[in-house]
């Protein structure tokens, strides 16, 4: 502890001694009480954070990364407690602190930026109120005027240029990105020495994510604030942090210098993670050494999947066109306050073709119209204008019977594994539903088909008599795939089908989809917001922005040589895009 005279920075804050750790975590244990006994969420975790440095904790869901972060400010969810170890903040152990003592640590010494900008601001108070409250509580300013001035300053710093005007607006009047800026402003409002950012951008579009992270990075550097970044994205972590901590099942499996870990991972789990991360795959393509991370480990390597799609242009051209969309339009009328309404061009004249046995990725951020396009192709909604031809059948002129038959040839897998299976039907009934609706086979043959499908997606056949609530997200997605394959379709629409999954599971599903495509000659329409995944799975890409396709072409061409600035921005925003792999 510094008991001698302390240096102060220009702002009057004592300058922290860079050689002494700001936070030391020693053998931290966190336990949650549940109905079925104690769950040890964090087991013997130790690390240090020095003044001004950026540390990232990476892990899948359930790894204990967020729990570790919240333990530092003792804001564990209701039934959790620190059951062992120490957390030293500036040398003092806070594990024994009372709530009152913690109030003085939170905000002032350690700031916190939460994950979901939608739920972390109180909807009934204005944004200004919530910022002022943080400033007042930490004694950064006093007196109404000073507090107001400081609040505006903080918000402007966080990137809200017109803060003064928008102070008295309510959270629902802000976009997600703007709310996240407000939360960053609140986190940094009291000039803390450490800022914990818990998945601060995972709920945002990639381009917004990049802007926010850039801003956060420059701001913390400017204020010399240490940053603890919690993320599931290895690429993002390595790009932003100098030091990486990889967690798995409550333990640290590997930690150290970011690049060092990426290039020379030692622990098998780390190797698996790196191999499975789509955001790193495209980087690794360009390096000579990167490809070798999976050596000696049983892992699914995204690199191999990606390479499969290289130089396929000729193959694509040779295959017949399976799906053809021409000048597709969908216009909704949106009610604007009271009685006026205005048109919203959700899909604004798009055209594309998908060749048999290949994958077209339709990429775009939220509101780009990609999901509407998928619904139109699936015939779940009628288009306002345009032509959709699937396997030679034009959907526009089709009779009800023809449309019904078309459904046998085209199936869909949705995004949310927890919402795409009816919780009240058994897995067997779910998979057999398409067969039943189309009157295929009898009970016995349908049951046989269900077992066959379960085996095809690598699930045990006894699952047929179980219910979705016993399955994990990845397993549910397999069931959804099995259901989509039941009628032996030619085209499968994958609507963000892997977006909700953890990276290892995502890799597994992507591998499964690739295997099935090869085996059954499937044609995929892959709807996604994640360009990194596109690199791994798609033969061709179409980038959508505001209802229009702004750029389309073979995957490699788009990635190597994007013509449109929007595409370029999307590519740059892929986490990890800035990492120099190899060498």
The strand pairing partners of 31, in sequence order, are: 40, 81
Q: Which is nearer to another protein, 75 or 149 (CB)?
A: 75
Asked if 303 and 281 touch (Cβ cutoff 8 Å), the reply is: yes
**Shortest CA distance to 71 belongs to which of 59, 53, 89, 50?**
89
> Quick one: 420 exposed, middle or buried, by C-beta within 10 A (0-12, 13-18, 19+)?
buried
CB of 19 to another protein, least distance (A): 6
Say what angle helices 427-437 and 443-456 make with each other, to 10 degrees: 120
Q: Which is nearer to another protein, 513 or 552 (CB)?
A: 513
Q: Which is nearer to another protein, 68 or 475 (CB)?
A: 475
Residue listed under structure tokens 């939608």: 118
Q: Which is nearer to another protein, 362 or 558 (CB)?
A: 362
CB of 466 to another protein, least distance (A): 6
Cα gap 160→539, rounded to integer Å: 40
CB of 414 to another protein, least distance (A): 4
CB of 321 to another protein, least distance (A): 22
Q: Which is nearer to another protein, 182 or 316 (CB)?
A: 182
CB of 277 to another protein, least distance (A): 14
**Shortest CA distance to 27 belongs to which of 40, 48, 43, 49?**
43
CB of 551 to another protein, least distance (A): 29
Cα gap 568→557, rounded to integer Å: 12
Q: Which is nearer to another protein, 275 or 571 (CB)?
A: 275
Q: Which is nearer to another protein, 46 or 384 (CB)?
A: 46
Cα gap 405→279, rounded to integer Å: 39
**Shortest CA distance to 464 belongs to which of 452, 473, 474?**
452
Q: Which residues contact 137 (CB under 8 A, 6 or more apart)?
A: 103, 107, 190
Q: Which residues contact 503 (CB under 8 A, 6 or more apart)?
A: 60, 232, 233, 234, 273, 276, 277
Cα gap 281→267, rounded to integer Å: 19
Q: Which helix (H) or strand (E) holds 229?
A: strand 226-231
CB of 420 to another protein, least distance (A): 4
Spell 191-214 as b/e; 16+ CB within 10 A means b. bbbbbbbbbbbebbbbebbbbbbe
Q: Which is nearer to another protein, 12 or 296 (CB)?
A: 296
CB of 487 to another protein, least distance (A): 8
Cα gap 567→167, rounded to integer Å: 34
CB of 310 to another protein, least distance (A): 26
Q: Which is nearer to another protein, 496 or 551 (CB)?
A: 496
**Shortest CA distance to 299 belongs to which of 505, 517, 456?**
505
What secondary structure letter does DSSP report for 14? Answer: B
């Amino acid at each position: 502890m510094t008991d001698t005279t302390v240096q102060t920075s220009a702002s009057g804050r004592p300058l922290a001694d860079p050689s002494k750790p700001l936070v030391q975590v020693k053998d931290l244990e966190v336990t949650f009480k549940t109905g079925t006994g104690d769950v040890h969420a964090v087991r013997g975790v130790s690390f240090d954070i020095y003044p001004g440095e950026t540390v990232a904790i990476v892990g899948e869901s359930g790894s204990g990364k967020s729990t570790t972060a919240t333990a530092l400010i003792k804001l564990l969810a209701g039934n959790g407690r620190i059951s062992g170890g120490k957390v030293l903040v500036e040398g003092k152990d806070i594990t024994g602190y009372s709530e009152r003592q913690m109030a003085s640590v939170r905000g002032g010494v350690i700031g916190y930026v939460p994950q979901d900008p939608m739920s972390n601001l109180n909807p009934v108070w204005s944004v200004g109120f919530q910022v002022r409250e943080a400033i007042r509580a930490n004694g950064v300013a006093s007196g109404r005027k000073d507090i107001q001035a400081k609040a505006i300053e903080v918000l402007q710093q966080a990137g809200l240029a017109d803060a003064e005007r928008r102070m008295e607006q309510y959270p629902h009047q802000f976009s997600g990105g703007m709310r996240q800026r407000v939360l960053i402003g609140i986190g940094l409002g009291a000039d803390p020495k450490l800022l914990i950012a818990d998945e601060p951008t995972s709920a945002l579009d990639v381009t917004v994510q990049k802007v926010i992270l850039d801003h956060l990075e420059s701001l913390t550097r400017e204020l010399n604030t240490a940053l603890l970044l919690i993320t599931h994205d290895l690429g993002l972590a390595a790009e932003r942090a100098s030091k990486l901590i990889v967690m798995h099942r409550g333990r640290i499996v590997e930690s150290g210098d970011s690049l060092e870990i990426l290039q020379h991972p030692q622990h098998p789990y780390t190797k698996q993670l790196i191999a499975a991360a789509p955001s790193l795959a495209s980087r690794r393509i360009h390096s000579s050494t990167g490809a070798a991370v999976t050596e000696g480990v049983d892992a699914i390597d995204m690199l191999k999947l990606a390479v499969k799609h290289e130089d396929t242009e000729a193959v694509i051209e040779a295959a017949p066109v399976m799906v053809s969309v021409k000048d597709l339009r969908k216009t909704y009328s949106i009610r604007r306050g009271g009685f006026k309404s205005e048109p919203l061009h959700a899909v604004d004249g798009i055209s594309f073709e998908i060749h048999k046995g290949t994958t077209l990725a339709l990429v775009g951020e939220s509101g780009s119209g990609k999901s509407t396009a998928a619904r139109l192709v699936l015939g779940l909604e009628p288009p306002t204008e345009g032509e959709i031809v699937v396997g030679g059948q034009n959907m526009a002129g089709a009779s009800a019977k023809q449309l019904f038959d078309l459904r046998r040839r085209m199936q869909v897998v949705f995004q949310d594994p927890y919402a795409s299976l009816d919780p009240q039907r058994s897995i067997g009934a779910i998979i057999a539903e398409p067969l039943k609706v189309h009157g295929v086979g009898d009970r016995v043959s349908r049951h046989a088909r269900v077992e066959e499908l379960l085996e095809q997606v690598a699930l045990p056949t006894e699952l047929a008599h179980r219910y979705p609530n016993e399955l994990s997200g990845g397993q549910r997605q397999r069931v959804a795939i099995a259901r989509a394959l039941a009628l032996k379709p030619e085209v499968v629409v994958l609507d963000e089908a892997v977006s909700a999954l953890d990276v290892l599971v995502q890799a597994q599903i992507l591998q499964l989809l690739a295997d099935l495509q090869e085996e059954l000659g499937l044609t995929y329409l892959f709807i996604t917001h994640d360009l990194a995944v596109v690199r791994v799975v798609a033969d061709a890409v179409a980038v959508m922005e505001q209802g229009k396709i702004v750029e389309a072409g073979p995957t490699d061409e788009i990635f190597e040589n994007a013509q449109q600035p929007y595409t370029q921005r999307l590519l740059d925003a892929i986490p990890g895009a800035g990492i120099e792999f190899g060498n």
